Amino acid sequence: MLKNKVAVITGGTRGIGYATVKKFLENGAKVVLFGSRQETVDKALASLKGENPEWEVSGAWPNLSKADEVAKEIELVKEKYGRIDILINNAGISDSTKIDDYTSEKFAEIMQLNVNAIMNSVMPTVKIMKEQGGGVILNTSSMVSICGQPSGVAYPTSKSAVNGLTWSLARELGPSHIRVNAVAPGITKTDMVAALPDEMIQPLIKAIPLRRVGEAEDIANAFLFLASDMASYVTGEILSVDGAMRT
């Protein structure tokens, strides 16, 4: 579905990002994954190459909060492949700080990575996509972007901002043939969720109409659809992949 497309995926070293990198490679894409440290990037690349040495995948570890570092790495991808067809802004951090324990620094830290950093990737990539006549930008939102959560106010706030960014960029960039969408996962079995004890997981599962938590691959499948030409008339959409749990 993505034969010879060039994709940049942030937060690609584990969890949803890693599953998406793998799914894209299986579907013929060339992928550059961004991680936070060389060590985790190398580990992810070794694992992917172990699965299939033919896969065209490489990695980088720019500080996503530094616009110049991100712009440099995006430019290197353009130099290497001549184009960038797909950008997935997936890196993110969650938070469960109670309001009495918040500091403005903590709030800003979550907003910085989950929102501001997305713009650092988007700005240089849009220039490239406009020059080449189009592209696809996808963001990882969250189920809590529409319903909030009981603590950690910065996290749902940041993901609501991701939705706003997605809707607005879709409208602004549509005339340049750049589609912009987001996937809003529900509870998804990444390292963080897998580490929760069974007594915490079981009540959560009861609240999910499909009666299971999501797998990282469920989210990767949604990204695959939105990135592919199958979604050629889909833009400005926040696709919930949450088993209909929206509380």
Ligand X SMILES: NC(=O)c1ccc[n+]([C@@H]2O[C@H](COP(=O)([O-])OP(=O)(O)OC[C@H]3O[C@@H](n4cnc5c(N)ncnc54)[C@H](O)[C@@H]3O)[C@@H](O)[C@H]2O)c1
Told to check if 36 binds ligand X by CB under 6 A, we report: yes
**DSSP character at residue 188:** B
**Contact residue for ligand X among 16, 84, 154, 222 (CB under 6 A):** 16
Looking up tokens 């060389």 gives 38
What crossing angle do the helices spanning 15-26 and 38-51 adopt, rounded to 10°? 40
**Contact residue for ligand X among 1, 14, 119, 204 (CB under 6 A):** 14
Q: Which is nearer to ligand X, 141 or 228 (CB)?
A: 141
The residues near 68 (Cβ < 8 Å, ≥ 6 apart) are none
Q: Smallest distance, Å, CB 205 to ligand X? A: 13
Contact 20, 219 (CB under 8 A): yes
CA angle 162, 168, 171 (to 5 degrees): 140
Told to check if 105 binds ligand X by CB under 6 A, we report: no
Q: Smallest distance, Å, CB 103 to ligand X? A: 18
**DSSP character at residue 183:** E
What number of chain residues touch ligand X (CB under 6 A)?
24
The residues near 202 (Cβ < 8 Å, ≥ 6 apart) are none
**Contact residue for ligand X among 27, 94, 116, 132 (CB under 6 A):** 94
Q: Which is nearer to ligand X, 151 or 176 (CB)?
A: 151
**DSSP character at residue 100:** G
Q: Which is nearer to ligand X, 4 or 244 (CB)?
A: 244
**Contact residue for ligand X among 93, 108, 230, 244 (CB under 6 A):** 93
**C-alpha dihedral over 39, 41, 42, 43, to 10 degrees?**
90
Four-residue CA torsion sign, 230, 75, 91, 8: positive
Sole window of 95-103, 118-126, 190-198, 225-233 interacting with ligand X (rule: CB under 6 A): 190-198
As a three-state string, the secondary structure of 203-234 is HHHHCCCCCCCECHHHHHHHHHHHHCHHHCCC
**Contact residue for ligand X among 5, 8, 9, 17 (CB under 6 A):** 17
Told to check if 15 binds ligand X by CB under 6 A, we report: yes
Sole window of 45-53, 91-99, 120-128, 224-232 interacting with ligand X (rule: CB under 6 A): 91-99
Give catalytic residue positions.
155
Told to check if 90 binds ligand X by CB under 6 A, we report: yes
Told to check if 240 binds ligand X by CB under 6 A, we report: no
**Which residues are at the interface with ligand X (CB under 6 A)?**
11, 13-17, 35-36, 64, 90-94, 113, 140, 142, 185, 187-188, 190-193
